[in-house]
Amino acid sequence: MSRTIKIYIVFLVAMMALIVVVDANRPRPINWMPSFDIKSKIPFGLKVFQEENDNYFKGDSIAEIRVTPYEFFDAYYDFDTLVNTYTIKGTFLSIDNYYNIDESSTDEILYFVSHGNDAFLSMSSFSQKLKDSLKFEIQNHYFKDRIEASLANKKLDDKEYQMKMGVSGYHFSTFDTLKTTVLGYQKTNDSTYVNFVKIPHGKGNFYLHTQPFAFTNYYLLKDRNYQYAEKVLSYIPKGNVFWYPNKTYNSSVSDSPMRFILSNEGLKWAWYLFLIGMIIFMIFNAKRKQRIIPIIKPLENTTVDFTKTIGNLYFQEGNHDTIMEKKIIYFLEKIRQDYLIDTQNLDEDFIKKVHQKTGKDITIIEKAVLLIKRQRKTFKSTEADLIELNGVLEKILDNKK
C-alpha cells in the first residue's frame, strides 16, 4: 500500500470520526413532523395515547387491528342467511392526520356500523365515499394564532382548551342538521366552527372529530389538554374497542442492514462522505500503474543496404553495362508511373512530354535519351559513361526544379 493511499484512508477516517463526535454533542432539533405512530416519541406521535389506552377505556376490551379493517371485520361476519351479521360488537377507533383507509375497508366500516356498531374517527379530512354516505362536507378555515376547542355539552366540560402547534382549521361546513348531533366546537379568530359530530348510520353511529392532534404526545403532556382528549373519548359507547393504528401496520419498514446508519443523521452523512471520498479516490487512481515500458527500436529497412551491396558488387566486378541497363529500366519505369508517359518510343514526342511534365531543361532530357540509345546500341560502356548517365538521369528525376 502506497503512502498516498494511507494518507487518503487516514483523512477519511478522521473526517468520519469528527462528524460523529460533532453530531453526538450537538442538541437534537425537535421533530415536529406529524407521524401519528404509536411507537413514536416525537411531539406528534401517539406513544402516550397507546400507553394510556387502559385509562381512557376503563373496563373496555381493546383489540388492535393489525390488518386492513376489511380483512379484520370480514373475518367476523356470519354469512348464514339466518344470522347475516357480525359475530362481534363494539367501536372501530382510528386517529390519524389524514384519512388513509382504503375504499374496500371504508365500505366494510360503513357496513359494520350499519349493523348496530359504532366508529370513532379523528382526522383532518375524510374520504369522499364517507362524506357522500354520511352527507357532510369539510372545509379548512385558516387562522393566525391558535384555536380554542370545547365541548357542546357544558355539563360534561365547560372549559376551552387552547391549541396552537400542529392543529388546523378543518371543520364541518355542512351536514344533515336533522340527523347530526353537534358534540364539539373550535373557536378561531372570534368565529366558532363545528369540529365534533355524531352521525347515525343504519343501527349504529359515527363519531367524527377533526382535531386529531389533541391525542398526540405533545397535547396529552401539555398543561391540562389531556382532559379534552378524555372528554372526547368518553362519547365512545362502553364495550369492545377495535383500535386501528394504521400508521404502524400499513407503513413498510425497511429491512436494509443500513437502516440504523441511515436513520441517524450524523452517521448517514458520515456514510455519504465516505462513499464520495472513495469515488473520488478511485477516479484519481484509475490510471493503471506499471513498470516503465522499454523503448523497442523498429526493425531497420535493409532494402537500401541490400541494394547498395548489390550495386557495389556490380561496380567492383566492372560490370558497368548491367548497372547502366538497370538504371535505364528504373528511369523509364519511374517516368511511366509518375508521369503516365509511354516509353516505348524514345522520340521527339517523348522528349516534349517529359519536358512539359517534369519542367526540366529539354537539353538534359535530349542528352539522357541520346545516352540511353547509345548504351542499348553498343552495350559497351566505361566507368565514365556510367557516371555520366547516372548524373543525367538523377537530374531529371530530382523533384527540385
* pLDDT of amino acid 252: 44
Inter-residue contact 234 to 227 (CB < 8 Å): no
Distance CA 384, CA 324 (A): 11
Answer whether residue 389 shows pLDDT above 50: yes
Q: Which residues contact 100 (CB under 8 A, 6 or more apart)?
A: 246, 247, 250
Query: Which residue, 185, 160, 158, is CA-closest to 172?
Result: 185
Q: Is the pTM of this model over 0.75?
A: no
The grid coordinates listed for 179 are 340527523
Inter-residue contact 64 to 50 (CB < 8 Å): no
If 0-12 CB within 10 Å is exposed, 13-18 middle and 19+ buried, where does residue 287 land? exposed
Per-residue pLDDT averaged across 30-52, rounded? 90
SS3 364: helix
CATH code 3.40.50 for 47-249: yes
* pLDDT of amino acid 97: 92
Alpha-carbon dihedral sign for residues 180, 185, 187, 188: negative
Query: Which residue, 101, 372, 78, 49, is CA-closest to 213?
Result: 49
Inter-residue contact 12 to 4 (CB < 8 Å): no
State what percent of residues in the chain have pLDDT above 90.
Answer: 41
The grid coordinates listed for 110 are 360503513
Distance CA 21, CA 259 (A): 20
* pLDDT of amino acid 307: 59
Range in 77-91, 147-161, 294-308 with the lowest mean pLDDT: 294-308
Angstrom distances, CA of residue 167 to CA of 126, 164, 178: 16, 6, 29
* pLDDT of amino acid 294: 81
Alpha-carbon dihedral sign for residues 280, 286, 292, 297: negative
In a 13 Å sphere around the CA of 30, the CA atoms on its Cβ side amount to 8
Inter-residue contact 335 to 354 (CB < 8 Å): yes
User: Where in the chain are the domains?
Assistant: 3-27+259-284, 47-249, 303-397
pLDDT in tens, 207-230: 999 999 999 999 999 888 999 999
Question: 206 pLDDT band (50/70/90 cuts)?
Answer: very high
Angstrom distances, CA of residue 374 to CA of 43, 333, 397: 119, 19, 20
Distance CA 237, CA 205 (A): 10
Which H helix or E strand runs over 12? Answer: helix 3-25
Q: What residues form DSSP beta bridges with 86?
A: 77
SS3 224: coil
Cα-atom radius of gyration of the chain, to the nearest Å? 52
